Amino acid sequence: MTKKKSLSLSDKSERGQAIRLLRRIIAENGREHVRGYVVAGICLVLVALSTAFLAWIMRDVIDRIFVEGDRTVLFTLPFAVFLSFLVRGLATYGQGVILARIGNDVVARYQRRLFAHLTELSVDFFGQNRSAQLAARINQNVSGVRDTLNLTITSLARDLLTLIFLIIAMIWQDWVLSLIALLAGPPIAIMISGLSKKLRKATRQSIDLNARVLGSMQETAQGIQVVKAFTMERLLRDRTEVLIQSAEERSNRIAVITERSGPITETVAGIAVAAVIAWSGYRSIAYGYSPGAMFAFITALLLAYDPARRLAKLQVQMERALVNAAMIYEILDEAPRQADRAGASALIVTGGEVAFEDVVFGYHPGEPVLRGISFTAQAGRTTALVGASGSGKSTIVALIERFYDASGGRILIDGQEIGGVTKASLRGQIAYVPQHPTLFEGSIRDNIRFGRPEADDAEVEEAARRAQAEEFILAQPLGYDTPVGENGVTLSGGQRQRLSIARALLRDAPILLLDEATSALDTRSETLVQRALDAAMADRTVIVVAHRLSTIVKADQILVVDRGRIAERGNHAELVRRPNGLYARFHGLQASGDEDRVDAAL
């Protein structure tokens, strides 16, 4: 995500890259809007023409009215001037509205694409990026793309056309003066292009810093209880202050670079205008040239000044927009890692047997987390995974869902390798209760219904009842329709867990993956959650990461995970009898204490 590829490349290939990017943006967004662009284009041509017409008619205004004193044109010429202003005003309005609409549509389109793409990306992408920063960055980037399009079109079409027409008008009036004025162009272009490179770097840094500032605000809001409990306010303020200051400093640098184009253009243009006045003044005084041509010329020159200045600034602004666009494509081009294999078939579950064959996996290369895991979870039975914190239990569960792909060995469900079936069919046959329950924006009912979107209200309520959740749901102000706070802050830990279990129950899948929460609950919640789990576990293949003795004792098979390997296996009766076994040792400790938790002992 923070690839800084573009900075290390040479100027030439950077320009090539910018052009490719521009082509891509236009190819991906232009087609839908051809009609809009044509109408906007006509408006832009009208703006350019009416502007050039003003300069052109100035010669007649001066010569016929002021020099010749021709009364017949006293009405027609001013009226023509008025008309051209009217046309210019209407055409400016038309192109403004059309281009703004296209811009808004482009924003919406990229938002849609990014959201769809983010949901397709694999779990590890989100492990590498902080969600709040990601959101803030995308927000800045999307408007960047809109600006690229609008800038390209308004500047290239309107300003360039206007400039060309005005230059024609100028040459028409006086080619010698035109030559003097046009000499100002090349030095401006050269100096401006020197600015863009500096700007590119500062822009990228500024976007990243702003994203971090916004991200830090969002994380603070989410973790406000921890922030207050550990009196982290000051520390966080100080840390954010550093970011805010750097962001401000970057923005200032961008302003200095961007605005530097102003004095450059002004100075060079000033020299040109002065030279034109001096030369034409001299000619008029010395040789009696008529003033009309000179006025027309100066008018054209002054009218050309604004579009020329905007064009000079274009490259600088475009740079900013292109950096944003490039950042969007970094995300859009991030390929989902676990695309379905070509010709992948749907998983067909007959019983729901899950088998691991010598599975090896690590989140980072060279740091194995699972070092050869083999076991069979029999169809319709319960397999409990127990082991110390960090031994790899949740990782085993994550691999069955294919959140990650194993680097060695095979995982089979009813004899079909999970890498060879479609992810949708795989996940459709699995209900998953994560270690940390996740709730989404919406009502309690919505949150349960995510288990099976087509379920009706009666089924949702039945699932809630079986998950021991109905009582507290009905006690909420709006019952099932009560909105849940961000990530469920308005609910207790046990209530969140029971909602998460209700969601899994509603799915009614043949395989249930259950990652028991490690957080301690009070005895009543504990009993309720336990009952909910018992309901969920009946009659299906269950793989449960268990921390409670009550869950473990009932399991058909217990796997003791130790540092990425299975150290012991068997049922409770067999394992307690094993002399010096990990499990037996734990059970000895457990029996002497009154704790119902396994981890401390293992």
Ligand X SMILES: Nc1ncnc2c1ncn2[C@@H]1O[C@H](COP(=O)(O)OP(=O)(O)OP(=O)(O)O)[C@@H](O)[C@H]1O
SS3 assignment, position 382: strand
Q: Is 392 in the site for ligand X (CB under 6 A)?
A: yes
Please give the helix or strand (H or E) that residue 29 lies within, else none.
Answer: helix 11-29
392 binds, among Mg ion, ligand X, none (CB under 5 to 8 A by kind): ligand X
Site map 416..455 versus Mg ion, x via CB under 5 A: -------------------x--------------------
Among 173, 261, 394, 416, binds Mg ion (CB under 5 A): 394
Interaction partner, residue 369 (Mg ion, ligand X, none; CB < 5-8 Å by kind): ligand X
For residue 390, the partner it binds in ligand X, Mg ion, none, with Cβ less than 5 to 8 A by kind, is ligand X
For ligand X, the closer of residues 192 and 552 by Cβ is 552
Q: Which of 70, 79, 47, 86 is nearest to 292 (CA)?
A: 70
Starting at the edge strand that comes first in sequence, how are the strands of the sheet with 511-515 ordered?
Answer: 430-433, 511-515, 541-545, 382-387, 557-562, 565-570
Output the CA angle 74-80-85, nearest 5 degrees.
130
590 binds Mg ion (CB under 5 A): no
Q: Is 127 among the residues that bind ligand X (CB under 6 A)?
A: yes
Q: Are the CB atoms for 543 and 398 separated by under 8 Å?
A: no
CA distances from 245 to 214, 248, 251, 439 (A): 13, 5, 10, 35
133 binds ligand X (CB under 6 A): no
- Binders of ligand X among 255-284, rule CB under 6 A? none
DSSP letter for each residue of 222-265:
HTHHHHHHTT-HHHHHHHHHHHHHHHHHHHHHHHHHHHHHHHHH
Closest CB to ligand X among residues 177, 397:
397
Return the number of the residue (185 or 409) whose C-beta is nearest ligand X: 409
Contact 41, 99 (CB under 8 A): no
What the block records as the tokens of 311 is 């064009």
Per CB under 6 A, which region of 182-190, 387-395, 422-430, 579-587 contacts ligand X? 387-395
Total number of residues binding Mg ion (CB under 5 A)? 2
* Residue owning tokens 């379905």: 340
- Verify binding: residue 391, Mg ion, rule CB under 5 A: no
Q: For residues 491 and 157, what is the distance between their CA atoms, to the nearest angstrom?
A: 57
For position 393 contacting ligand X by CB under 6 A, the verdict is: yes
Region binding Mg ion by CB under 5 A among candidate stretches 60-68, 319-327, 377-385, 392-400: 392-400
Site for ligand X, residues 515 to 544, rule: CB under 6 A: 518
Q: How far is the CB of 466 from ligand X (least distance, A)?
A: 26
Distance CA 572, CA 549 (A): 10
The count of other CB atoms within 10 Å of the CB of residue 145 is 26
Beta carbon of residue 364, minimum distance to ligand X (angstroms, whole number): 6
- Report phi then psi at 356, rounded to 5: -105, 130
Calculate the CA 429 to chain-centre distance. Answer: 30
Of 93, 115, 282, 363, the one binding ligand X by CB under 6 A: 363
> Does 389 participate in binding ligand X (rule CB under 6 A)?
yes
Longest dimension (CA), the chain: 121
Confirm or reject binding of residue 395 to ligand X (CB under 6 A).
yes
Q: Which of ligand X, Mg ion, none lies near 111, with the C-beta cut-off 5 to 8 A by kind?
A: none
The partner in contact with residue 345, picked from ligand X, Mg ion, none with C-beta cut-offs of 5 to 8 angstroms by kind, is none
Query: Taking CB under 6 A as the rule, does residue 391 contact ligand X?
Result: yes
> Is residue 129 part of the contact set for ligand X (CB under 6 A)?
no
| Contact characters 405-444, ligand X, x per CB under 6 A | ------------------------------x---------
Least distance CB 269 / ligand X (angstroms): 58
Binding span for ligand X by CB under 6 A among 88-96, 183-191, 317-325, 388-396 = 388-396
Q: How far is the CB of 397 from ligand X (least distance, A)?
A: 8
Task: Give 171 or 360: the residue with its C-beta nearer to ligand X.
Answer: 360
Which DSSP helix (H) or strand (E) runs through 161?
helix 161-173
**How far apart (Å, rounded) are the C-alpha atoms in residues 21 and 149?**
11
Asked whether position 497 contacts ligand X by CB under 6 A, the answer is: no
Distance CA 308, CA 335 (A): 42
CB of 431 to Mg ion, least distance (A): 18
394 is an interface residue for ligand X by CB under 6 A: yes
Per-position DSSP letters for 521-589, written without gaps between them: --HHHHHHHHHHHHHHHTTSEEEEE--BHHHHHH-SEEEEEETTEEEEEE-HHHHHHSTT-HHHHHHHH
* # residues contacting ligand X (CB under 6 A): 13
Quick check: 523 and 555 in contact, CB under 8 A?
no
Q: How far is the CB of 363 from ligand X (least distance, A)?
A: 3
Q: With CB under 6 A as the contact rule, which of the stretches 250-258, 300-308, 327-335, 383-391 interacts with ligand X?
A: 383-391
Number of H helices, E strands in the chain: 22, 10
Closer residue to ligand X in complex, CB, 394/551 = 394
Phi, psi of 515 (to 5 degrees): -110, 95
Q: Which of 149, 202, 369, 544 binds ligand X (CB under 6 A)?
A: 369
- Residues contributing to the site for ligand X (CB under 6 A): 127, 363, 369, 387, 389-395, 435, 518
